[in-house]
Chains A and B, each alone.
Chain A
Amino acid sequence: MTVTNIPATPGAAAPRDGARPPGGKSAAGGRPSGERARAARGRLANAFGVVLVIALLAGIWEGYKALGQALGDRIPLIGLGFPVSTDDLSMPHLSSIIGALGEPASSGDSVSLGMYLVGETTVTLREALYGLTAGALLGLALAVLFLHVAPVSRGLMPWLVASQTVPLVAIAPMIVIWAGKADAPAWIAVAAIAAYLAFFPVTINTLRGLKSPPATQLEFMRSVGAGRRQTLLWLRLPAALPFLFAGLRLAATASVVGAIVGELSAGTGRGIGRSILTFAYYYSNGPEKLYAAVLIAALTGIVFVQALAVAERLALRNRPTR
């Protein structure tokens, strides 16, 4: 299930001439209360939609499995086999996947699998967060650099684009080796891999955002004698904020992927990526454990992106609704 429905750019400022007569009773600086209620209703509808989709996916999983079991994994008349066989080893029941979360992580263990996976997830999330932070800062700095020094932009941009087309599986081991040579702890290599994936969408989107103010606004800044720094600080950066968040959402998912792949390459002892690898290795002993780990990994990504969405809503709360 994907929650990354990300437009490359927030749409151009919509015309809103006289569209919103200021309601006298609106909270200081806030939106009129009717609009607030509408937003709350919208959020409720969203939550309902999420639950519906989860229920639907669960239904498909169990329905497919039940059908396969009833038909012996063969499509009647055509006689073709089911693409994925539905026995408990290939497709454990959802109940046993969920149930596995409550059972000991490994035999004789006092920690439940669920708790164990949450612990590993925390490790991965931390790596991803470090990577995202470093990547976002680098991405932002590059965007500002590109804005102000056009030759740098022309010279460096093709290389940045190229850097993102090199497969991660080729890059990750290199970063791990470099980090090892520098005696850096493994999590630094993992965070660096996450940052490597995270910075690019931030740079591209932020650069667009920095260039988004209309000529009138730029000329206004000029007319009041504002210099480059003031124009950047008070016009370009605030105008770029919605674009930055669009980039950050892409970067957040990328940083989780980077952290998971990074864990596999770096040979770290911990993290959800490491767990997935381990449970894949011992798959026949407990297939539901692998599914549980993948489930948690997916939830991790969702939580990460959702946390970012909350930050975005807060940061952009005073902007016109698009």
Chain B
Amino acid sequence: MGEPAIISVRDVHKVFNGHTDRAVTALQDINLDIGPGEFVSLLGPSGCGKSTLLRVLADLTSPSQGEVTVNGKTPRAARADRDYGMVFQQAGLFDWRSVQRNVELPLQVAGAPKDQRRAKALEMLELVRLGEFAKHFPWQLSGGMQQRVAIARALSADPSILFMDEPLGALDEMNRERLQGELLRIWTDVRTTVVFVTHSISEAVFLSSRVVVMSARPGRIAASIDVDLPYPRVAETRTTPEFFAKVKEVRQVLHAAESEQAPA
């Protein structure tokens, strides 16, 4: 990748409960560069440190060692400038706010005037195809719709990066595949850089331009695999031999990394 990295991680370690006998090395020797416009998935078994790495990037936790830059700044500065938007596994919408006012929230924090907020929120809701639900309340929506609202909310302050931690993890398979398609459509529309945490191989391959495979105990990057399937990817992409081949390749790397770690 010739372009300058929008996210760069240098020699990052993260130890939880250091100085105690319950110390856990969640991340070890992490080095990672992500270029603008990439869709990178962090893939690995549960507990391998995917969320921790994402949270380090998002300044929701700080690394024990190492350097991280996001948009050429410290993660803290990037967070304060709303350079990234965040989507969690739980939509976490606020029950007492309408869908529209939920989407406005990042702009409200930024101090944007009311009419500007409203216009932007409606635009984002159109983007996730929920324009007609602006006046509804989150608890009136299905889980998949709530997650789309969460995506609209994450994008409303025009971040250049989108961090997503298993955002589709709580959905059933049907909804999940539909939302994967939606997500790619949105991504081609807004062209943000995406860092996407998942433990699903096929989800990672279908969505990403690159899959970063992690292994557990301690959490490390085992491999980085480019996914050269052309965009736009559609439902039929999942049935192509190229897709199957990629899934197979990633699976082999993942399993090789695991057996190397844990002699089970």
Binding site for B on A (CB under 8 A): 13, 16-18, 20-22, 26, 28-29, 214, 216-217, 219-226, 230, 234-235, 238-239, 241, 318-320
Contact = CB atoms under 8 A, between A and B. Distances in A.
A270 B45 CA distance: 73
Interface string B8-45: 00000000000000000000000000000000000000
B96 A318 contact: yes
Contacts of A319: 95-96, 139
A29 B135 contact: yes
| Main SS at interface, chain A | loop
Interface in B50-106: 58, 60, 79-82, 84-86, 88-90, 92, 94-98, 105-106
A225 B142 contact: no
A235 B79 CA distance: 18
A220 B58 CA distance: 11
A224 B105 contact: yes
Nearest to B79: A225
The 7 A-B residue pairs with the shortest CB-CB distance in the complex, in nearest-first order: A216-B92, A18-B142, A320-B139, A223-B86, A17-B143, A224-B106, A29-B135
Residue of A28, A219, A221, A230 most packed against chain B (CB within 10 A): A219
A20 B60 contact: no
A225 B109 contact: yes
Most interface-central of B137, B143, B144, B146 (chain A CB within 10 A): B137
Contacts of B140: 20, 22, 26
B208 to A, nearest CB: 22
Nearest to B111: A230
B92 A214 contact: yes
Contacts of A217: 92, 94
A20 B141 contact: yes
B187 interface: no
B108 interface: yes
Interface in B175-191: none
Given A224-B109, A238-B94, A219 B88 contact: yes
